[in-house]
Amino acid sequence: MVLPIVTPRLEIRDFVPGDRPPLYEYASDPRVTQYLWWGPFSEADTLQFLERTGRDAKARPRANFELAVVDRAVGRVIGGCEFLSRRSIYQEYEIGYFFRPDAWGRGIATETVRALLDFGFSSIHAHRVYALVDPDNTASAQVLARIGFRLEGHLRKDALIRGEWRDSLVYALLADEWPSGGSRGSVSLSEPSNISLERTRKRTLGR
């Protein structure tokens, strides 16, 4: 499995220590973390996140990917995304993404998710990919529906978000529902890279 993932507008790669300023800028924004279980980040949270992912990058085998999304035109980190192993014996993964507000409404989430699916189905050989979405997060639900995810269920008060129990919608996509087994010709993969993440079920969809 190889990284980074390159699309027409984006580079999706592992986080590095130099990403601390842009990571803190978006992860500390309540608008970005509104529907997420984590955040807003403090400076200490940001440093701990980068230290942890740096350590986890050395783990073998690698099952989870928590990645920076870079706008290639300006060379700036504009958000993050995740491809996380959940039930490994069933080749099931959870997907997540979150972006700074000035990246909203530009199709960045769609481009990121398509790239992750290409990566997941062709390089990781995922069988099923799902996302958990807050019912109020209509923007993310629309992104997933446009790409081809199906609404499979409604979980009641399964996520504790800043002291409030919230519902989650379950969207999922199977490998045989993704064109050409994930090979769409729009993503290039290059140098190998590693990162790991805590293996707990969580809602990871921002905007």
pLDDT per position as a tens digit, 162-190: 999 999 999 999 999 998 554 443 444 43
Comparing 161 with 204, which gets the higher pLDDT?
161
How many structural domains comprise the chain?
A: 1
Indicate the SS3 state at residue 171.
strand
pLDDT for residue 135: 97
Mean pLDDT, range 36-57, rounded to an integer: 89
What residue ranges in the chain does DSSP mark as E strands? Answer: 5-6, 10-14, 65-71, 76-85, 92-99, 128-133, 150-161, 164-174, 188-189
What is the pTM assigned to this prediction?
0.86
Residue 89 CA to its chain's centroid (Å)? 21
Strand order in the sheet with 188-189: 150-161, 164-174, 128-133, 92-99, 76-85, 65-71, 10-14, 5-6, 188-189
pLDDT tens digits for range 115-154: 999 999 999 899 999 999 999 999 999 999 999 999 999 9
Residue 205 domain-assigned (yes or no): no
pLDDT for residue 52: 79
- Is the pLDDT reported for residue 197 higher than 70? no
pLDDT band at 60 (very low <50, low <70, confident <90, very high): confident
Instruction: Break the chain down into helix, strand, coil percent, rounded to 5.
Output: 30, 30, 35
d(CA 40, CA 15): 18
Q: Are strands 5-6 and 188-189 parallel, antiparallel or unpaired?
A: antiparallel
Residue 113 domain-assigned (yes or no): yes
Residue 157 domain-assigned (yes or no): yes
Whether 110 contacts 147, CB under 8 Å: yes
Can you give the residue range of the structural domain that contains 125?
5-189
Indicate the SS3 state at residue 136.
coil
Question: The domain spanning residue 44 has which CATH number?
Answer: 3.40.630.30
Looking at the chain, the whole-number percentage of residues with pLDDT higher than 90 is 76
The helix (H) or strand (E) run that includes residue 32 is helix 30-33
Which residues is 67 bridged to in the sheet? 14, 81
The amino acid occupying position 75 is G
pLDDT for residue 76: 97
pLDDT tens digits for range 7-19: 999 999 999 999 9
Residue 139 domain-assigned (yes or no): yes
